[in-house]
Amino acid sequence: MDRSPLTARVRESNRQARAAGSRWAPHRARVMEVLRGVPAGGSVALLGAGHLYDVELDELAIRYERVALVDLDGETVRAAVERHPAAKARCTVHAPVDLTVGLGQLATHRCGVPGEPFDLTVSLGVLTQLMQAVTDAGVAPEEVPRVSLAVRDKHLRDLVHLTRPGGVLVLVTDFVSTRSAPGLAHLPPDELEPALARLVAAGNFFTGTNPYRIAALLEETEPFSRHIAQARFHGPWLWAITPDREHLAGAIVAERRPR
């Protein structure tokens, strides 16, 4: 069994989220709204599948013939699949897969998943956990922003690489917590986007998650722009991630250029 500190931390975090299924229903509804806007058919890969609380697995297994579930924590994903007997036959669990790999290999390593390239690749709230791994790895504080952005860019390259030309990639991520922006919890939905823009301008967001920057990176900056036709931001919305805290979250949907 893998007993690395990273795996132990990720498992503990998943253990704490075990009862989150109903609390995450509004988040799940928003994620599914985004995914229903993407063409169905073929294959989908879900990165950071975890408990599968942020998707409707049964519906995805109707929309796609093959569902690849990728995570560091195989036990949690396999238990989640058991709760969806109707979807099980179309699902393959790929675990443990570490989406950070060694921090020293960030520039060159590509995440490979059997069955790639997929028609749709979805990153499910895993980006901020990859960032957490940077802090946990004992990177010197002054190096954390640089290494975090390298981890973010590697994750974006993995998403592009895992998606077939003409396919779609979706990055679902959280941006900022009500811990550092308590006013968010009391805002009506239509005031969340201006609030996000203000928080981003003020630098109050998780390192590397600025959705406007990510969309611009994908559309306008090499090596992404040669592969990406367009990238759109959906959201934001509030995700009741723990009983005492909400995170502002959203999705970037990007289309890979056909070959």
Residue 126 is a binding residue for ligand SAM (CB under 6 A): yes
Shortest distance (Å) from residue 155 CB to ligand SAM:
10
Nearer to ligand SAM, 80 or 217 (CB): 80
> In whole angstroms, what is the distance from residue 103 CA to residue 63 CA?
36
Nearer to ligand SAM, 8 or 197 (CB): 8
Residue 207 is a binding residue for ligand SAM (CB under 6 A): no
Q: Of residues 68-107, which lie at the interface with ligand SAM (CB under 6 A)?
A: 71-73, 97-100
User: Token pair 């890979």 is at which residue?
Assistant: 256
Report which of 76, 56, 167, 155 is spatially closest to residue 117, judged by C-alpha positions.
Answer: 167
List 30, 44, 45, 48, residue binding ligand SAM (CB under 6 A): 48
Shortest distance (Å) from residue 168 CB to ligand SAM:
18
Which residue number places its CB atom closest to ligand SAM?
50
Residue 144: phi and psi, rounded to 5, are -60, -45
> In whole angstroms, what is the distance from residue 6 CA to residue 93 CA?
20
Residue 162 tokens, joined: 């895992």
Nearer to ligand SAM, 109 or 221 (CB): 109
> In whole angstroms, what is the distance from residue 79 CA to residue 95 CA?
13
Tell me the CA distances in angstroms from 116 to 56, 69, 121, 132, one per residue in order. Answer: 22, 12, 9, 27
Nearer to ligand SAM, 16 or 230 (CB): 16
AA letter at 122: V
The span of 9-17, 141-149, 200-208, 217-225 binding ligand SAM (CB under 6 A) equals 9-17
Residue 217 is a binding residue for ligand SAM (CB under 6 A): no
User: Token pair 């975890």 is at which residue?
Assistant: 50
List 34, 35, 45, 52, residue binding ligand SAM (CB under 6 A): 52
Shortest distance (Å) from residue 182 CB to ligand SAM:
21
User: Token pair 């500190």 is at which residue?
Assistant: 5
Tell me the CA distances in angstroms from 229 to 23, 79, 171, 235, one per residue in order. Answer: 35, 37, 16, 20
Shortest distance (Å) from residue 134 CB to ligand SAM:
11
CA 86 from chain centre, in angstroms, equals 24
Report which of 219, 238, 228, 112 is spatially closest to residue 175, judged by C-alpha positions.
Answer: 238
Shortest distance (Å) from residue 79 CB to ligand SAM:
11
Residue 208 is a binding residue for ligand SAM (CB under 6 A): no
Residue ranges in contact with ligand SAM by CB under 6 A: 10, 14, 17, 48-54, 71-73, 97-100, 124-126, 129-130, 133
